Amino acid sequence: MSKSIVRQSKYRHVFGKPAKQDNCFTALKPIENRTDACFCAANGKFVAYSIQSGGGGAFQVLPVTQTGRLSTKQANFTGHKSTVLDFAFSPFDDNLLATCSEDGEVKLWLIPDEGIKAEQNTPEITLSRHTKRVNLLRWHPVAENILLTAGCDNRICVWNIEIGDTVNVIDAPEMPYDVCWNHNGTAFAVTTKDKALRVYDARSSELLHV
């Protein structure tokens, strides 16, 4: 009789332990939108998330050390005209945050180490090239100041934020569902509504694989 095979896993005996209450963020009011989007992001210094607001488009950024019950006077970022759909902190600057929104714009914010004390509605840069909502942000893994965005206009944009303009624009045949750089940033993969996965050259925009 053959013996049953038990597959070994290095995670087999790993268990998560919830943080204590004083190490948690409480009394937050995150957005309750059902849209398929990423409404929060974090790095080693901050947590960013969309919040419920009358006009839409507001979000908060909290220092990770600011745990406990959130103050009712917490200042908001209000630069977008509609719901923020994705957040991405720069891998090269912990204080640099990119946001994109249903309003079709991408905005870049410099966050002070201690957070903001008053409402902030003026970003460092606004990037406008999309004609419909933008729902994907991806920083380049090795080149500073290069940002990839994708939206419901089927457009994929590669930006140089130093000059505030695109260095590459690709019109995908269908709406992008997700995008991902390769390890050295020479190419990126895109999944689209037509159930295809395409790989593009980041410099030439050449379609490498489908």
DSSP 165: E
The sign of the CA dihedral 41, 76, 137, 44 is negative
**Is the confidence at residue 7, as pLDDT, over 80?**
no
pLDDT digits (tens, 9 = 90+) for 165-174: 999 999 999 9
The answer to whether residue 14 is domain-embedded is no
4 confidence band (pLDDT: 50, 70, 90): low
In this prediction, residue 29 carries a pLDDT of 86
Residue 71 domain-assigned?
A: yes
Mean pLDDT, all residues of the chain: 92
Assess if residue 4 is contained within a domain. Answer: no
**Reported pTM:** 0.88
Q: In angstroms, rounded to a whole number, what is the distance separating the alpha carbons of residues 149 and 136? A: 5
Residue at 5 is within a domain: no
Distance CA 25, CA 80 (A): 24
**Number of helices (H), then strands (E), in the chain:** 0, 17
Is 11 part of any domain? no
Task: Tell me the per-residue pLDDT of 16-68, one tens digit each, with 9 for 90 and over.
Answer: 888 888 889 888 888 887 677 888 999 999 999 999 887 779 999 999 999 99
Residue 174 lies in a domain: yes
pLDDT greater than 60 at residue 153: yes
25/9: higher pLDDT:
25
> CA-to-CA distance for 69 and 67, rounded, in angstroms?
7
Question: 49 lies in which domain range?
Answer: 21-209
Task: Confirm whether 86 is domain-assigned.
Answer: yes
Both structure tokens of 23: 């190490």
Residue 170 has a pLDDT of: 95
Q: Give a yes or no: residue 15 inside a domain.
A: no
In the chain, the percentage of residues whose pLDDT exceeds 70 is: 96
Which is higher by pLDDT, 127 or 37? 127
Residue 130's domain is classified under what CATH number?
2.130.10.10
Q: Name the DSSP letter for residue 99.
A: E
Number of domains, the chain: 1
